[in-house]
Amino acid sequence: MSLNKAIEHGKEHRKLYNGAKKYDKHCCNHGTCLWCQSDRRYKEFKERERYKFDMKEWKMDDNL
């Protein structure tokens, strides 16, 4: 019995596959698409911005 037929008759309880991977094969947990990378590396980006801000403040304090 095919998956679609089993779902119609209530024999199968899995959801139909309609995730992001259906449209972009690189879109997965450790994918290389820009959306996945930005989600996965959010903490790294925030940390980098904090370091930039700290360096800018440190340089301003140094000039006084």
Distance, CA of 33 to chain centre: 8
Q: Is the pLDDT of residue 14 over 70?
A: no
The number of folded domains in the chain is 1
Q: What are the structure tokens assigned to 49, written together? A: 């911005």
> Are the C-beta atoms of 27 and 21 separated by less than 8 Å?
yes
Write down the pLDDT at residue 26. Answer: 66
N-to-C CA span, the chain: 78
Distance, CA of 56 to chain centre: 30
Write down the pLDDT at residue 49. Answer: 94
Range of the domain at 45: 3-63
Write down the pLDDT at residue 1. Answer: 58
Which residues are CB-contacts of 3 (< 8 A; sequence separation ≥ 6)?
A: 12, 14, 16
Is 44 or 39 the better-scoring residue by pLDDT?
44
